[in-house]
Amino acid sequence: MQLFVVFYGLPGVGIILDPFPAAILVFSINEGAYCAETMRAALESVPHGQIEAGYCVGMNYLQIMRRIVLPQALRTAFPPLSNSLIAMVKDTSLAANITVMEMFMATQRIVARTYEPLALYVEVGLIYLLFSTVLTWVQRWGEKRLGAYGGTRR
């Protein structure tokens, strides 16, 4: 819906964007909002006693954030942030709705010429699966790496 509002609605008020910048703008704002909320929740999940303990040992605010709060918050935020990235990779196919030439739209055009939909759509599906699998491996590695700081190795 946001893609349609930005690409087709904004020209009504005099703001005209090409399809690709419109898609980048929409995906950036949308994912930025979700990521900001994820980070807010992760920061709030760190007990306030951790901050007080940092002050007790003589740390200033920046040291407390860098050495105590952010490592704990990142460990909490990493899985949902990674999931958002994987979902965004898959959601890029929505950009075809505003004529951005992305992988799925290119496949549709090839299918229109070759009349071989099954093989081509399976191939595109496998490419999306490959991207998602690689990102999932990176996520698993990152979670294990961050888990080492909490003393809970998996």
| pLDDT of amino acid 103 | 84
CA distances from 12 to 6, 15, 19, 100 (A): 10, 7, 16, 20
Ordered by start, the domain boundaries in the chain are 2-147
Instruction: Write down the residue that tokens 């979670």 correspond to.
Output: 143
- 102 token code pair: 């992305």
Label residue 154 by pLDDT band (50, 70, 90). Answer: very low
How does pLDDT run across 75-134, given as a tens digit for each residue?
999 999 999 999 998 888 888 888 787 888 888 899 999 999 999 999 989 999 999 999
Alpha-carbon distance of 97 to 24, in angstroms, equals 14
Is the model's pLDDT at 74 over the cut of 70?
Answer: yes
Instruction: Write out the two tokens for 112.
Output: 């229109």
The answer as to CATH 1.10.3720.10 being correct for domain 2-147 is yes
Lowest mean pLDDT among 23-32, 51-60, 86-95, 141-150: 141-150
Residue 53 token pair = 């303990």
**pTM for the complete prediction?**
0.77
What is the enclosing helix (H) or strand (E) of 118?
helix 117-147
Residues 81/32, Cβ–Cβ less than 8 Å: no
Confidence of residue 153 (pLDDT cuts 50, 70, 90): very low
Mean residue pLDDT of the chain comes to 91
Whether the per-residue pLDDT at 18 is higher than 60: the answer is yes
CA atoms within 13 A on the CB side of 10: 16
